[in-house]
């Protein structure tokens, strides 16, 4: 069996799909499936929940193999140019079946013994029910703004929405129960709500700044530009209702510089002892914290916060402010209730952050 393909296209596709592979104790999950069929060559990698594939034009016979060490192979073949010829031979039957693959491009050649293609996990059977188009770079940027607010995924988690990025209407958001980040874009409204693992959505960056088609099924979704395709599992469970967390009135609103606020939080973080969650008391622009009997204080410039007090988790507030670190100022809204959320927003932006406060009695009263 013999096929030929453009060498540079093949190597670039191999590098692309290899980028999704994470080291696994299961050998086939460290490999790339290469399939020649109907004058096409499709390269596919998977981690079971996500499949990434690239489709290229080719010529020749129909055959397939499972290429182990794909990253190393791609690096070795980077200088290949022109026509790459692949010839596959098989020996034995059943459990004794073996594949030999010979590759040649100009003066260079190689002989390999890839895995059997049937060892590769089969892709799921699914049917799309909804579809829409979006700019991949714009959608990826929206996901990146909010994904920090998703909790780490755990096998025993009974609320999968806590560790996922969620899509509903014109909103993209993440919420772990202690903080939330959301982005609103009225120009893109998804036809049906869904959620996805942040690690799967990370691969949106592979599509660059181009329009992609997104198909939604009951259990899977697919993103494609016609050459590269990303298929990923959609977790089951109810989405968090975004509106239920947003207060309708606030007891105070004030402006701060995120750069200045972050610098003072960094000072406290570096000063405080221990690895536990550090709590900070905000009091009219003063920041007060303590750990292991030591007390630290600093102050930020804040317009309109006289008499305002609340406590917060240092790391959660840092993450929220990082979302706006390039802005000259942000508006902080403190809810009317003593334990209502703190909202952070910047003028002219569609994204916002929410941080749940802690009881003032739990935050430091250092002076």
- Least Cα distance to 66 among 96, 111, 27, 12 occurs for 27
Mean residue pLDDT across the chain = 92
Total domains in the chain come to 3
Residue 365 lies in a domain: no
- What pLDDT is recorded for position 364? 58
CATH number of domain containing 34? 3.10.150.10
Residue 364 lies in a domain: no
- What pLDDT is recorded for position 181? 97
End position of a domain, from candidates 119, 144, 175: 119
Does the pLDDT of residue 163 top 70, yes or no? yes
On whether both 55 and 75 belong to a single domain, the answer is yes
Report d(CA 201, CA 50) in Å as an integer.
10
On whether both 140 and 234 belong to a single domain, the answer is yes
Does the pLDDT of residue 207 top 60, yes or no? yes
What average pLDDT does this structure show over 319-346? 92
Q: Give the burial string for 321-352 (b: 16+ CB within 10 Å, else e).
A: bebbeebebbbbbbbeeeebbbbbbbeeebbb
Ranges 14-23, 118-127, 321-330, most confident: 321-330
- Confidence category of residue 346, pLDDT binned at 50, 70, 90: very high
Q: State phi, psi for 205 to the nearest 5 degrees.
A: -65, -20
Report d(CA 213, CA 313) in Å as an integer.
40
On whether both 237 and 315 belong to a single domain, the answer is no
Q: DSSP character for 40?
A: E
End position of a domain, from candidates 69, 94, 119: 119
- What pLDDT is recorded for position 362? 67
Does the pLDDT of residue 240 top 60, yes or no? yes
β-bridge mates for residue 99, sequence order: 90
On whether both 226 and 295 belong to a single domain, the answer is no
Residue 209 lies in a domain: yes
The DSSP code sequence of 223-289 is EESSSEEEEEEPPPSPPP-GGGG--S-EEEEEEE-HHHHHHHHHHHHHHS-SSSPPEEEEETTEEEE
On whether both 206 and 136 belong to a single domain, the answer is yes
CB-neighbour burial class of residue 201 (10 A; exposed 0-12, middle 13-18, buried 19+): buried
On whether both 217 and 257 belong to a single domain, the answer is no
On whether both 14 and 95 belong to a single domain, the answer is yes
On whether both 103 and 191 belong to a single domain, the answer is no
171 three-class SS? strand
Half-sphere exposure of 159 (CA within 13 A, CB side): 9
Decide: 201 and 143 in contact? Cβ < 8 Å: yes
- What pLDDT is recorded for position 366? 43
CB-neighbour burial class of residue 118 (10 A; exposed 0-12, middle 13-18, buried 19+): exposed
Residue 361 lies in a domain: no
End position of a domain, from candidates 221, 243, 265: 243
Residue that the structure tokens 């942000």 belong to: 330
- What's the pTM value of the predicted model, to 2 decimals? 0.89
What average pLDDT does this structure show over 53-61? 96
Decide: 67 and 88 in contact? Cβ < 8 Å: no
Residue 124 lies in a domain: no
On whether both 8 and 114 belong to a single domain, the answer is yes
On whether both 203 and 109 belong to a single domain, the answer is no
On whether both 134 and 237 belong to a single domain, the answer is yes
Residue 324 lies in a domain: yes
Does the pLDDT of residue 155 top 90, yes or no? no
Residue 125 lies in a domain: no
Q: What is the pLDDT of residues 82-128, one digit of tens each?
A: 999 999 999 988 778 899 999 999 999 999 999 999 999 998 999 99
DSSP H or E run through 2: strand 2-6
- What pLDDT is recorded for position 27? 87
Q: What is the largest CA-CA distance in the chain?
A: 82
Decide: 346 and 255 in contact? Cβ < 8 Å: no
On whether both 102 and 25 belong to a single domain, the answer is yes
Question: pLDDT exceeding 90 applies to what percent of the chain?
Answer: 78
- What pLDDT is recorded for position 367? 39
CATH number of domain containing 289? 3.70.10.10
Residue 363 lies in a domain: no
Does the pLDDT of residue 55 top 60, yes or no? yes
Please give the residue range of the domain that contains residue 55: 2-119
Q: What is the pLDDT of residues 247-269, one digit of tens each?
A: 888 989 999 999 999 999 999 99
* Residue that wins the pLDDT comparison between 21 and 64: 64
Half-sphere exposure of 85 (CA within 13 A, CB side): 9
């Amino acid at each position: 069996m013999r096929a030929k393909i453009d060498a540079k296209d093949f190597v670039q596709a191999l590098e692309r799909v290899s980028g999704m592979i994470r080291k696994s104790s299961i050998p086939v999950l460290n490999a790339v499936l290469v399939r020649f069929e109907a004058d096409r060559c499709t390269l596919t990698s998977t981690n079971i929940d996500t499949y990434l594939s690239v489709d290229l034009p080719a010529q020749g016979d129909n055959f397939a193999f499972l290429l182990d060490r794909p990253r190393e192979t791609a690096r070795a073949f980077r200088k290949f140019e022109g026509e790459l010829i692949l010839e596959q031979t098989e020996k034995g039957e059943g459990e004794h079946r073996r594949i030999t693959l010979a590759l040649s491009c100009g003066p260079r050649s190689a002989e390999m013994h890839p895995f059997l293609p049937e060892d590769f996990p089969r892709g799921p059977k699914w049917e799309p029910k909804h579809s829409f188009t979006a700019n991949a770079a714009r959608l990826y940027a929206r996901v990146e703004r909010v994904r920090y607010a998703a909790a780490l995924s755990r096998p025993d988690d009974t609320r999968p929405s806590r560790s996922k990025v969620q899509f509903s209407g014109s909103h993209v958001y993440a919420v772990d129960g202690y903080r939330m980040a959301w982005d609103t874009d009225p120009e893109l409204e998804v036809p049906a709500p869904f959620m996805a693992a942040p690690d799967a959505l990370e691969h949106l960056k592979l599509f660059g700044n181009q329009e992609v088609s997104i198909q939604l099924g009951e259990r899977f979704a697919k993103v494609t530009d016609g050459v590269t395709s990303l298929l990923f599992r959609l977790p089951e469970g109810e989405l968090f209702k975004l509106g239920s967390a947003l207060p309708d009135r606030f007891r105070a609103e004030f402006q701060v510089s995120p750069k200045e606020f972050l610098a003072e939080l960094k000072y406290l973080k570096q000063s405080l002892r221990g690895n536990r969650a550090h709590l900070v008391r905000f009091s009219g622009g003063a920041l007060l914290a303590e750990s292991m009997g030591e007390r630290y204080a600093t102050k930020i410039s804040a317009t309109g916060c006289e008499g305002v007090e609340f406590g917060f988790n240092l790391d959660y507030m840092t993450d929220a402010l990082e979302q706006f670190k390039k802005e000259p100022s942000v508006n902080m809204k403190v809810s009317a209730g003593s334990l209502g959320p703190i909202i952070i927003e910047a003028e002219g932006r569609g994204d916002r952050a929410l941080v749940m406060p802690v009881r003032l009695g739990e935050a430091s009263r250092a002076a």
